[in-house]
Amino acid sequence: MRIWNKIREEAWAITASSLHNILDIAARNNEAPHVVAARLGKELQNTYTMNIRDGVAILPVVGALFRYANLFTNISGASSYEIIGQDFRKAIEDDQIKAIILDIDSPGGEVNGCAELADMIFEKRGKKPIIAYASGDAASGAYWIAAACDKIIVSKTSALGSIGVVGVYQNNSNEKEVEIVSSQSPYKQPDLASDEGKIRLQARIDTMAQVFIESIAKYRGISAQEVISNYGAGDVFIGETAVEKGLADYVGSYEKILTELNQDNHTLSLTNEDKKIMHKESREQNSDFKSIEEMRLEERKRIEAILNSKAAENHMELARHFAFATDIEADIAIAALTKVVTTDNTSFISAMQNIKNPKIIPSTDADADADDINALAKRIASY
């Protein structure tokens, strides 16, 4: 249960399928670690190691990524930012190591610790070549780390992208559980059943995603808007397509990277200026775009303006539709709400609707002359 609590308290930069696998493992509360490990086909130990080949340090970034190494990372075949960071620092400080390769095959992982590791890698650019090689997938948090390197080289079949953040929140439907939140802190545990609770939790996730997107933009030398527009919006791209979209620099192989590094091909580390030149036109085109934070705040203001308007008081269901299911501007939505007729049972229209139509029966008086005005007047008066 402690594992489950940990998972649902964190934000994740990871693919959906991998997050479901982690949740499945965490839900096995009554199984011993060696039983879970056997089912996963993993050894009950962390086989994470840094290899050195011809003066090149090779750091594997494999499996789901967690901030710290623990029993859960061992039995799930995961890696930790803590260990990757320690080995990266050793490789940077070792004068015998001339270059570093991050060998990545990961769906991503925990947000906490990911940004710190990526920033540390980015800050060491220029000291020696730092190459990210996606031998497998480099998705979500794993791509966050890869983008911090000098270059990203991808295999033909590897998937890159899945840029975004997801949160796991448990539906508190268990009647046996009682949850009491301090009255001074009503927003400590937002109610997912309410619109306000959903808005608050969405704002948290959006803010983390903003950090993710802006970090990628900084590392790759492009604008945040280009990341949003061209980097898949949470989707992944395979091999050559990832290169065409700008997520990777070129398709290559592990051996080719080592050969280039051993030939003192220092072009592998000269990517900052290259990317600035390559994406200069794109930045100029996108310079007028709003930041993620500005767009998020505008959307929140739009929703609040609609729901809190006086026009929404008698038409809340329609107001919620305008707020959450459309992108209609607040003033247009409010104007539409004011045009909706409110039912009033005491109104003149309602009163008139309750009056039955009179029964008009032609006169049977044989002596009545239809052409005689006086006779016609008497007939009307008798109705």
Q: How far is CA 16 from the centre of its chain?
A: 11
Cα 81 from Cα 94, distance rounded (Å): 20
User: What is the reported pLDDT for 255?
Assistant: 86
User: What is the reported pLDDT for 215?
Assistant: 93
Between residues 374 and 230, the one the model is more confident about? 230
Bridge partners (DSSP) of residue 339 are none
The 8 Å CB, 24+ separation contacts for 255-260 are 257/101, 257/131, 257/133, 257/153, 258/53, 258/54, 258/56, 258/101
Mind listing the pLDDT tens digit for each residue in 251-303?
998 888 888 887 755 445 444 444 444 444 444 444 444 555 677 788 888 88
Cα 261 from Cα 279, distance rounded (Å): 26
How confident is the prediction for the chain on average, in pLDDT? 75
- Pinpoint the residues of the chain covered by CATH 3.90.226.10: 2-197+222-285
User: What is the reported pLDDT for 47?
Assistant: 39
User: What is the reported pLDDT for 260?
Assistant: 84
Residues sharing a CB contact under 8 Å with residue 84, sequence separation 6 or more, in sequence order: 59, 61, 117, 145
Residue 211 has pLDDT above 60, yes or no: yes
Cα 147 from Cα 162, distance rounded (Å): 13
- pTM (2 d.p.): 0.60
What phi, psi does 144 have (nearest 5°)?
-55, -45
Residue type, 2: R
Residue 363 has pLDDT above 80, yes or no: no
Residue 186 has pLDDT above 60, yes or no: yes
Bridge partners (DSSP) of residue 159 are 238
Between residues 182 and 38, the one the model is more confident about? 182
Between residues 120 and 174, the one the model is more confident about? 120
User: What is the reported pLDDT for 373?
Assistant: 64
User: What is the reported pLDDT for 278?
Assistant: 45
276 within 8 A of 221, measured Cβ to Cβ: yes
Kindly calculate the radius of gyration of the chain based on its CA atoms and give it in whole angstroms: 33
Mind listing the pLDDT tens digit for each residue in 337-351?
888 766 555 555 566
Residue 99 has pLDDT above 90, yes or no: yes
The CATH number of 2-197+222-285, from 3.90.220.20, 3.90.226.10, 1.10.10.10, 2.60.40.10, is 3.90.226.10
User: What is the reported pLDDT for 119?
Assistant: 95
User: What is the reported pLDDT for 285?
Assistant: 47
Q: Hey, which of 19-33, 76-90, 236-250, 339-353 has the most confident mean pLDDT?
A: 236-250
Sign of CA dihedral 44, 33, 114, 212: positive
Mind listing the pLDDT tens digit for each residue in 301-331?
888 898 899 888 888 888 888 887 787 888 8
Mind listing the pLDDT tens digit for each residue in 125-159?
999 999 999 998 899 899 999 999 999 999 999 99
- The three-state (H, E, C) secondary structure of 348-379, written as one string: HHHHHHCCCCCCCCCCCCCCCCCCCHHHHHHH
Between residues 244 and 264, the one the model is more confident about? 244
Q: Hey, which of 42-56, 138-152, 174-188 has the most confident mean pLDDT?
A: 138-152
Residue type, 232: G
User: What is the reported pLDDT for 118?
Assistant: 95
User: What is the reported pLDDT for 256?
Assistant: 86
Cα 333 from Cα 328, distance rounded (Å): 6
What single-letter DSSP state applies at residue 310?
A: G
Residue 113 has pLDDT above 50, yes or no: yes
Structure tokens at 361: 């029966």
- The three-state (H, E, C) secondary structure of 139-160, written as one string: ECHHHHHHHCCCEEEECCCCEE
154 within 8 A of 243, measured Cβ to Cβ: yes
Between residues 96 and 293, the one the model is more confident about? 96
Strands (E), the chain: 11-14, 51-53, 56-62, 65-66, 79-80, 99-106, 108-110, 130-139, 151-154, 159-161, 166-167, 236-238, 250-251
Mind listing the pLDDT tens digit for each residue in 2-22?
444 444 545 656 655 555 555
What single-letter DSSP state applies at residue 289?
A: S
Residue 97 has pLDDT above 70, yes or no: yes
**Considering only CA atoms, which of 349, 357, 312, 355 is closest in space to residue 330?**
312
Residue 117 has pLDDT above 90, yes or no: yes
Q: Hey, which of 68-72, 193-197, 268-272, 367-371 has the most confident mean pLDDT?
A: 193-197
Residue 105 has pLDDT above 70, yes or no: yes
Q: Count other Cβ atoms within 10 Å, centred on residue 167.
A: 15
Q: What's the start-to-end Cα distance of the chain, in Å?
A: 83
Residue 76 has pLDDT above 60, yes or no: no
What phi, psi does 251 have (nearest 5°)?
-85, 135
